[in-house]
């Protein structure tokens, strides 16, 4: 068994070589510390960017009609492409990847309540639009457009927090009425908008908006969500098929990008995720390089330590010490140094990342929401499991760093060891 005398002997050896022990420990602690800091910075960048895009669906596609820029079957260029109501039904038959579908009719008008007024954008949509565009309705703030609103062509409206602030001041707008030009709408909900932007639109039933602002027919935009598409190649193949099917119905060349504008958020998220993975991999490489430098430092120091104590090992063997007891003594010393300083580096690294995160959260208290929303650095912390795994890896390296030179030393006979200078 390993008794107290062995520990006392190890501590005595450490006290005799304080500078060497400190330098060894510092290389270990610095390697762990820098790895955690680098990974924390990478996580902070990833979390900040993803936070800025949190209100965007990752499988959303928006499509707008345009003007032809290429001739097609004898028809001239510069023809206006117009979406039809039938497109909403047909695209789901042509493309089983399409899940939820909504159409949009755009309109801009002056919204007023009493003496308060403002010019805002209004969008006529279907109920599925709230899921496709990730529009959130908080408890107590009413509801979004529903199917009954569509069927009965109700004059109801869902406003933004900014509209509530300007038009209703401190009053509860639910159930009250808003004038949109000559049309009166009843407020049924206020959706969540952390940016509190003047550009945020109001939402009304699609059937109502189409009747009032689009002569009862036609679509300004089609939005839908996709299912089952995981890669960039799959999304690109879908876009090609979609352009071909729309080109057949509306008589334009599928290669004519000006006839049909598409915005696929999945491609942006896939590209963004790939970029973030590349940054994380780069930081891991740098961090592991720093950690490796610490491991090499431990190996070199332990090699020097064993060489200096070779004569001592010879004397031990001469008075009856077994090779295993000597080997165990060196390994335990190596474990103590790497474990202690590795733990110190881990605690300091986690402490710094948590401290930065706490300071960032404290600065946002009472600050503007827009400043918080546009942050590109958020929650720069590292998982405790990763930090512990890195520390454990370094301790294992410390064991190996002490084992190999010690094994070589104990194989030397007692006479040869005592002759070593």
pLDDT on residue 179: 94
The 10s digit of each residue's pLDDT in 127-153 is 999 999 889 898 889 999 999 999 999
Q: In the chain, what are the domain boundaries?
A: 4-54+270-419, 60-265
Q: For residues 333 and 402, is the Cβ–Cβ distance under 8 A?
A: yes
Residues of the chain falling short of pLDDT 70: 1-7, 9-10, 12-15, 52-57, 364-377, 409, 412-421
Q: For residues 212 and 181, is the Cβ–Cβ distance under 8 A?
A: no
The 10s digit of each residue's pLDDT in 335-363 is 777 788 888 888 888 888 888 877 777 77
Output the 3-class SS for 54-85.
Answer: CCCCCCEEEEEECECCCCECCECCCCECCECH
pLDDT on residue 372: 44
**pTM of the predicted protein model:** 0.65
């Amino acid at each position: 068994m390993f008794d107290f005398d062995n520990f006392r002997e190890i501590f005595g050896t450490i006290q005799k070589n304080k500078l060497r022990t400190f330098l060894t420990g510092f290389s270990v602690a610095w390697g762990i510390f820098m790895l955690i800091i680098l990974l924390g910075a990478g996580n902070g960048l990833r979390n900040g960017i993803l936070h800025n895009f949190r209100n965007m669906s990752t499988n959303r596609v928006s499509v707008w009609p345009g003007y032809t820029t290429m001739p097609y079957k004898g028809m001239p260029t510069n023809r206006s492409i117009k979406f039809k109501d039938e497109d909403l039904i047909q695209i789901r038959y042509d493309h089983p990847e399409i899940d939820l579908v909504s159409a949009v009719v755009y309109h801009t008008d002056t919204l007023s309540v009493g003496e308060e007024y403002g010019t805002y954008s209004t969008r006529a949509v279907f109920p599925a639009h709230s899921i496709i565009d990730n529009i959130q309705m908080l408890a107590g703030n009413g509801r979004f457009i529903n199917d009954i609103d569509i069927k009965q062509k109700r004059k109801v409206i869902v406003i933004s927090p900014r509209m509530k602030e300007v038009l209703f001041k401190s009053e509860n707008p639910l159930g009250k009425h808003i004038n949109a030009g000559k049309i009166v709408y009843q407020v049924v909900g206020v959706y969540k908008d952390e940016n509190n932007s003047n550009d945020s639109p109001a939402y009304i039933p699609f059937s109502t908006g189409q009747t009032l602002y689009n002569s009862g027919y036609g679509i300004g935009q089609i939005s839908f969500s996709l299912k089952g598409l995981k890669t960039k190649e799959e999304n690109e193949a879908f876009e090609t098929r979609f352009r071909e099917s729309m080109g057949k119905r509306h008589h334009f060349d599928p290669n004519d990008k000006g006839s049909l504008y598409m915005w696929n958020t999945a491609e942006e998220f896939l590209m963004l995720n790939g970029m973030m993975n590349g940054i994380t991999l780069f930081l891991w490489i740098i961090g592991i390089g720093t950690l490796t430098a610490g491991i090499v430092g431990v190996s070199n120091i332990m090699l020097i330590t064993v060489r200096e104590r070779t004569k001592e090992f010879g004397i031990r063997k001469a008075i009856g010490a077994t090779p295993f007891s000597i080997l165990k003594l060196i390994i335990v010393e190596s474990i103590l140094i790497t474990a202690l300083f590795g733990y110190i580096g881990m605690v300091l690294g986690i402490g710094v990342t948590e401290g930065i995160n706490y300071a960032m959260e404290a600065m946002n208290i009472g600050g503007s929401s827009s400043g918080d929303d546009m942050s590109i650095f958020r929650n720069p912390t590292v998982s405790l499991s990763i930090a512990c795994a890195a520390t454990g890896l370094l301790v294992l390296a410390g064991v190996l760093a002490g084992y190999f030179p010690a094994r070589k030393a104990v194989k030397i006979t007692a006479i040869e060891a005592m002759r070593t200078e």
